[in-house]
Amino acid sequence: MKLLHTSDWHIGRTLYGRNRYEEFEAFLGWLAGQIRERDISVLVVAGDIFDTSVPSNRAQALYYRFLCEVAASDCRHVVVVAGNHDSPSFLNAPRELLKALDVHVIGNACTALEDEVLLLRDDRGEPELIVCAVPYLRDRDIRLAEAGESTADKESKLLQGIHRHYAAVGELAEQLRAELGEDIPIVGTGHLFTAGGQTVEGDGVRELYVGSLAHVNAAIFPSAFDYVALGHLHVPQTVGGNEHIRYSGSPVPMGFGEAKQQKSVCEVEFSARAPAVTRVEVPVFQRLERIAGDWSAIERRIQALAADGTEGWLEVVYEGAEIIGDLRDRLEEAIEGSALEVLRIKNTRIANRVLEQIDDDETLDDLDIYDVFERCLGQHGVPDEQRLELLQTYREVITSLQERDVRAE
C-alpha cells in the first residue's frame, strides 16, 4: 500500500503582486499524474491548502478540480487536514459531500476525538490503514486561558495540550487496531513547528503560538504512529533524525529564499507496518532566481540568463559600494528583449531605514505585520531587554485577533 504525503500548497499566494495560479495548476496536474503513475492508494495533505482563510474563486476551482481528478483515479482515499492559513469552517463546509468521493476533511480539532481517527478500507472493504488526522491545533482548542498567566505558563500549557491531544488520538487508534485484530499501519498528521526545524528567509513561516518555546519534539508523537506526515515548515526534513517523522515541505517555492531548494513530496510504501520513504522531486514550474552582487556581477548574470533564453522572475540585491541612483532603469535595459522579469530590487547600499524612510526599492509588500512592529521598536529606541516581552505580547494580540476572525466565520 502506497501513501503520498504533501503539504503547504498555499494556493492563491502571490509574489510581489504577481498571481501564481498557472504555477499551482501545473503542480496539481503533475501531482495527479504522479498519483496515477505510482499507483498511490492514499493521499495525505498536511495543511495550508490555501494561502488565506478566504481563497479566491480561482483558487477554490483548482482545489475542487484536483479532488475530482484524484477521485476518478485508482487512489482510494484523500485525507486533508487544515493548517494555520486555512479557514476551518471553509474547509469543513463541503465535508459531507466530499465523503462521497472518499475525501476526508478535518478542518479543526474535533470535540469527539474519535472523529479524528479514520479507518480507511481497500477495494475489497478490508481495513488497510488508520489515520489520526490531527489538524493545526489552535490555542483555544488545547489551552484554557487564565488571568495573570505568565508567558512561560502559557507555553507550558500549550505543550501539555498538544501532548494530551496526540496521546488521546494515538490511544484511540491503538484500541481500534486491537479491536480489528489487524496489524495495519497507523499514520499521524500534524501542522506545527518542531524544535530544531529548518526554515529559510522569505518563506513566510511564523511562530504558531505566543512566544517561541512552544516547539514540539519527536517524543510528543505516540509510538503507535508508524509514519507522521507533517506540514508548516517549507524545507523537506525529518524530525529528530527519525525517518518516519517528516515534513514534505512546500511543493512550490514561496519566495526567492526558497528558489534554490529542491522541492518534493514523500512517497511512503508500507510493508506490513514498516514504512519505506522516497522523496519524489517536484519539477520547477516557474523559475525564480536571486541575483546579488555589485553592478558588474548582476549585469553578467542577467546577460548569461538572457543568452540562454531563460524565462523567469528575478530578485536583484545590489551590494556594490558605488551609489547607483538609476538602478531600476539599468535593470530594465538589461532585461529588455528577454523573457526575464525583475519582481523586486533591494539596494543594500542605501542605509537601513525605519518604517517612514522606505525608499523606492522597498514597499510595504516587503514587510509583514511583525516586521513593521520590529521596525517601530527600533525607531523608538526600545531597549533589547524590553523587546522580547513586547514582541510576545504583540504576537498574543495578533493571534487573538486572527482567532476572533475565524470564530466570526
The tens digit of pLDDT for each residue in 2-36 reads 999 999 999 999 999 899 999 999 999 999 999 99
Q: In order of start, what are the domains of the chain with their CATH numbers?
A: 2-281 (3.60.21.10), 288-366 (3.30.160.720)
Give SS3 for 351. Answer: coil
How far, in Å, are 151, 155, 249 from residue 209 at the CA level?
11, 8, 20
Measured CA to CA, the distance from residue 10 to residue 223 in angstroms comes to: 30
Gyration radius from the chain CA atoms: 23
Query: What's residue 101's pLDDT?
Result: 94
Three-state DSSP at 379 gives helix
pTM confidence score = 0.82
Grid cell, residue 197, equals 526545524
Non-local CB neighbours of 22 within 8 Å, separated by 6+ positions = 285, 286
Kind and range of the H or E run holding 389: helix 384-408
Q: Which residues of 63-102 are buried (b: 16+ CB within 10 A; e: fewer)?
A: beebbebbbeeebbbbbbbbbbbbbbebbbeeeeebeeeb
| pLDDT at residue 358, as a whole number | 53
Do residues 81 and 106 make contact, with C-beta atoms less than 8 angstroms apart?
yes
Task: Give per-residue pLDDT as tens, 352-370.
Answer: 444 455 555 555 556 677 7
| CA dist., res. 64 & res. 91, Å (int) | 11
Give the model's pLDDT for residue 210.
Answer: 40
Q: Model confidence over 26-80: pLDDT tens digits?
A: 999 999 999 999 999 999 999 999 999 999 999 999 999 999 999 999 999 999 9
